[in-house]
Amino acid sequence: MCGIAGIYSQTPLPDDTGALLGRMLARIRYRGPDESGIYINRHLAFGNVRLSIIDIQTGQQPMASADGKYRIVFNGEIFNYIELRKELVKLGYQFKTESDTEVLLYAYIHFGASCLEMLNGQFVFAVWNNETEELFIARDRHGIRPLFYTWKGNNFVFGSEIKTLFEHPDVSAAIEISSLSEIFTFWTTITPKTVFKGIYELSPASYLKIKSGQMIIRSYWSLKFPEDEHQYFKGSFADAVVELERLLEDAVRMRLRADVPVAAYLSGGLDSSATTALIKKVMPETLQTFSIGFEDKEFDETSYQQKVADFLKTKHTAYTCTREDIGACFPQVVWHTETPILRTAPVPMFCLSQKVRENNIKVVITGEGADEMLAGYDIFKEAIIREFWSREPGSKLRPLLFQKLYPYLEQFQGKNMNVLKLFFGHQLQDTNAPFYSHILRWKNTANIHNLFSEDIRELLKKHDGQKEVSDMLPKGFGNYDLLGKSQWLESVIFMSGYLLSSQGDRMAMANSVEGRYPFLDYRVVEFAATLPPAFKMRGLNEKYILKKMMHNRLPKEVLNRPKQAYRSPIAGSFLSKSAKDYTLELLSEPEITRTHLFDYQLVNKLVKKISSGAMVSEIENMALAGILSTQLLMHQYVFRDGYRPEINQLKNCRIIRENNTVYTQ
C-alpha cells in the first residue's frame, strides 16, 4: 500500500520539479511511512511513499522494466499476482523481485489496458512509456484506492489525495458550489467531480492515457444486474449458497497474502463476523481482531463483538470511542476526508485504525460490500415497504412497518400516522421511477439546502444533481428489478463515493493501515448481482443467503439479530468539552459570514436548538455535521489558516534521473 503523486508536462519540466514532487509526497507520507522514491525526466516526474506489505526487501518504486522502457508507481494490492506471475513466466518474462508491483508492470507491458480485466485487487497505478512518452493511469473497479488530478496550463498534476495537488504553486483551492449541493443530497459528489473547482477524480473502473498533451478516459468494467429472468443465477438456492462460500473463501485466501501480520475488524454484525469466520477456516492459527464501541448504548455493539471473538477464539482488542474523542478528532478526520461529511461515523474508524497501528498491524480484513451486494441496508427494505404500501395507499397498517425498520429513530415511534405518511409517502406511487428506492433519502437530505445562504441557493437553482446521476445509469437500468436498481445506486454512488473513501481508505491510511474487502472481490460482486432478489432479501429478512451460509458457524445472537446501522453520536460530540470552543467559533457569525456558504440566522437557530437539549431529527444532526465539516474544510484548504497539520518531511527518498543516476535525499 502506498501513496503516489506526479506531474506531466508537454514542455520540459523546471529544475526544481524534484523538490516540488517531494513536497507533494511529503503531504501524504502517512500513506507510506516506510520508504519513498521519485523518478524524473524531461516531461514526467512521479513517485511514491510506500507502506511495505509484500516483498518488503526488493519492492521499491518507482520500478523500471528490465529494458528501462517503462516505469511504474503503484498504490494498492494485486491479490492474484502469484497466478498472474506464473502466466507471465510462461510467456517468457523474468522477475527480479517477489513483488506484485513487478507483476503488474509486466502484465501492462504485455497486455496493455486489457490487463485490467485480469486484475483481482484494489489499486491505482501509473505507467510511463519512455519511448512513446505516454502516461497510463488506472483505478480499480470499485474505487477502493483514490486518484485525483487537475490540469494547469500544460501541466497535468495527479496524486492519491487532493492535498498533494495543492502543494503545486499553480493549483489553488476553491469550493465548487454544485458539488457542495450534491454532497448535501447524495452524501458525495457525482464522479468525476470533487468538492473543489477544477479538481477531478479518476472514476472507478476507469483508465486514462495522456500523450502529446491529449488525454482520453475510458471505462473498462461496470456493475450490471439482470435485465430479464434468463440472466438470473440458474441453480437452486442451495447451489447458490455453495458457490457464494467458494468464492468468498477464495477471496479471503487471496487477501491473506502479505509479508506482515493480517488482522480483522469485528463490528458485531454479520458481515465482519462472516469474514472473520472464513479467515479462521482458511488460516486456523490465532487471529487478532479489533473493534470499536461507544459509551452511548444507542450506538454500542460491544457485547456482540465479544460474543463473536469468544466463539471464534480470536485474540481480541476492544476500544471505546467517547463523545470527547469524536469531538476532538473531527478536524483531523475532515483533513483526511478532503470533503464535507454529514455524519461523524468516519471518526471512530479513524480512532480504530490508530489503535490498530499502535499494535504494529498494517493490514486488516473487513466486511465492506456485503450490505451493498447481498441487500443488507434498510434503504432496500424501505423501497420494498413503500412499493408494498403503494398498492394500498390508504392502508393504516403498512406504514407502521417503518417503525420496526427504524426503531432507533425516536421521531418515528408512537404510531404517529401523519408523521410516517408525510416522511415516507413522498412519490409513493411512482414505482417505475429510476430512483424510487433513493428519492426519499435524497429529498430529506436535501432539506439541508435550506441552510445555505441566499446567494448560494440562487446559484443552485439551475443545478440538477439527479440529471447527473441519470447520465451515469447503465444501458438496461430500467429493466432491473427494484432491488437491482436499489443496489446499483447504493454501490456506485454511496459505496464508492462515501463508504470506501471517507469511512474506508482515508480513515485507515491516515494511520498507515490497509483495509482489504473480500466481499468486493469482483467475482463475488458479479455473482451476487445475478442472484434472484429472494435469495438476498427474503421478505424483509436481509442478507438471507449469507445467514444461511453461516448457519451454525456464528453465535445465534449475532446471526439472527436485526441489522443495526453503523452510527455514532453527532450533536453531543460537538458540544463536548473538547469540541465546544472550535464548534462555536466556526459557527459564529463572523466565520459563517466569511465563507458566504450558509445563512447565519438559520445556523444559529439550529445550534441553539441542539444546545437546549431538545429532540433533534437525523437531518438536523446531519446538517450540523455537514456545516461544521464544510467550515473546517474552508480553513484547512481554501484559507489555509488553521486546523491543518504541518507538512511531513520525506526521509531517505531515492531519486532516479532519466540517465539512471540514483541519489538519496
522-540: per-residue pLDDT in tens?
999 999 999 999 999 999 9
68-106: per-residue pLDDT in tens?
999 999 999 999 999 999 999 999 999 999 999 999 999
List, by residue range, all CATH 3.40.50.620 domains of the chain: 229-374+490-559
**Under 8 Å CB-to-CB from 215, ≥6 apart: which residues?**
156, 208, 209
Report residue 635 as a C-alpha cell.
480553513
Cα distance between residue 329 and residue 578, in whole Å: 9
Cα distance between residue 229 and residue 452, in whole Å: 46
Q: What is the pLDDT of residue 325?
A: 93
Do residues 546 and 275 lie in contact, with contact meaning Cβ atoms separated by under 8 Å? no
Which amino acid does the sequence have at 657?
R
pLDDT over 90 (residue 412): no
- Torsion from C-alpha of 51, 57, 61, 65, nearest 10 degrees: -150
Kindly calculate the radius of gyration of the chain based on its CA atoms and give it in whole angstroms: 25
Omega before 284 cis (within 30°)? Answer: no
User: How many H-runs (helices) and E-runs (strands) does the chain carry?
Assistant: 28, 19
pLDDT over 80 (residue 475): yes
Residues in the chain: 665
Q: What is the pLDDT of residue 563?
A: 72
Give strand pairing partners of 126. 73, 137
- Candidate from 111-115, 401-405, 416-420, 587-591 with smallest mean pLDDT: 416-420
pLDDT over 70 (residue 628): yes
List, by residue range, all CATH 3.60.20.10 domains of the chain: 2-221+648-664
Sheet holding 70-78, edge to edge: 63-64, 70-78, 121-129, 134-139, 206-211, 214-219
pLDDT over 60 (residue 414): no
Summarize the confidence of residues 217-240 as an average pLDDT: 97
Q: What is the pLDDT of residue 575?
A: 84
Q: What is the pLDDT of residue 417?
A: 63
* pLDDT bracket for residue 53 (50, 70, 90): confident
Cα distance between residue 355 and residue 511, in whole Å: 9
Q: Report H helices in 460-543.
A: 465-472, 482-489, 506-509, 522-530, 533-536
* pLDDT bracket for residue 413 (50, 70, 90): low
Report residue 318 as a C-alpha cell.
476492544
Q: What percentage of residues in the chain have a pLDDT greater than 90?
A: 80
Cell 503503484 belongs to 74
Question: Which of residues 425 and 214 earns the better pLDDT score?
Answer: 214
Cα distance between residue 330 and residue 629, in whole Å: 8
302-331: per-residue pLDDT in tens?
999 999 999 999 999 999 999 999 999 999
108-138: per-residue pLDDT in tens?
999 999 999 999 999 999 999 999 999 999 9
CATH class of 2-221+648-664: alpha beta
Please tell me whether residue 598 adopts helix, strand or coil conformation.
strand
Give strand pairing partners of 214. 211
**φ and ψ at 194, to 5 degrees?**
-125, 180
Cα distance between residue 461 and residue 449, in whole Å: 11
Summarize the confidence of residues 495-509 as an average pLDDT: 97
373-402: per-residue pLDDT in tens?
999 999 999 999 899 888 888 887 777 777
Q: What is the pLDDT of residue 49?
A: 95
Query: Around 245, how many Cα atoms within 13 Å sit in the side-chain half-sphere?
Result: 17
CATH class of 229-374+490-559: alpha beta
**φ and ψ at 19, to 5 degrees?**
-65, -40
pLDDT over 70 (residue 422): no
Cα distance between residue 156 and residue 481, in whole Å: 42
